[in-house]
Amino acid sequence: MQREFPEVPLIGVGAIIIDGNRVVLVKRAHPPLQAEWSIPGGVLEVGELVREAAVRETREETGLTVEPVELLGVYDRVLRNAGQRVQYHYVLIDFLCLRVAGQLAPASDAAEVRWFSQDELPDLNLAEDTMDVIGKGFARLAASL
């Protein structure tokens, strides 16, 4: 699978894991978004269901076992190089996930992983769609209480 300068868009999954007023974010160890904070997630593998991918990617990046409970959104992530050629193209499918087990610790694709309060999020310069889906996660949980 060619992630950089792909011939077709790749399907990515993301997990919004919330505990009280905190959400889990990972600092990416590899491009794209290397050294930036983002939600746990990654690329769907052939034969894998999107919810299974969310569980696998979360465990691989954070050490947590989660259960995807609700689809929060589908987003386009198209990043272009200086010459305006598409360098990365993902269709991102993001789920609200409940923490089932595990201890938070960075794993394979994460340089760092930690809980952030809602108040800390604006200072992280997260992508607009990332802020949007995290906001939807907090709103959904608040509505269910």
Residue-wise pLDDT tens digits, 22-74: 999 999 877 777 788 999 999 999 999 999 999 999 999 999 999 999 999 99
Domain contains 5 = no
Q: Please report, for the domain that includes residue 122, its CATH number.
A: 3.90.79.10
Structure confidence at residue 31 (pLDDT): 72
Considering the entire predicted model, what is its pTM? Answer: 0.91
Q: Which amino acid is at 11?
A: I
**Per-chain mean pLDDT for the chain:** 93
Domain contains 3 = no
Domain contains 108 = yes
Domain contains 34 = yes
Structure confidence at residue 36 (pLDDT): 87
The tally of domains found in the chain comes to: 1
Domain contains 4 = no
Q: Which amino acid is at 6?
A: P
Domain contains 125 = yes
Cα dihedral 44, 111, 76, 55 sign: positive
Domain contains 98 = yes
Query: In the predicted model, is pLDDT for residue 81 greater than 80?
Result: yes
The answer to whether the CB of 64 falls within 8 A of the CB of 58 is yes
Residue-wise pLDDT tens digits, 93-114: 999 999 999 999 987 777 899 9
Distance CA(11)–CA(90), nearest Å, equals 6
| Domain extent at residue 40 | 10-144
Among all residues, which ones are annotated catalytic?
112
Cα dihedral 23, 26, 32, 33 sign: positive
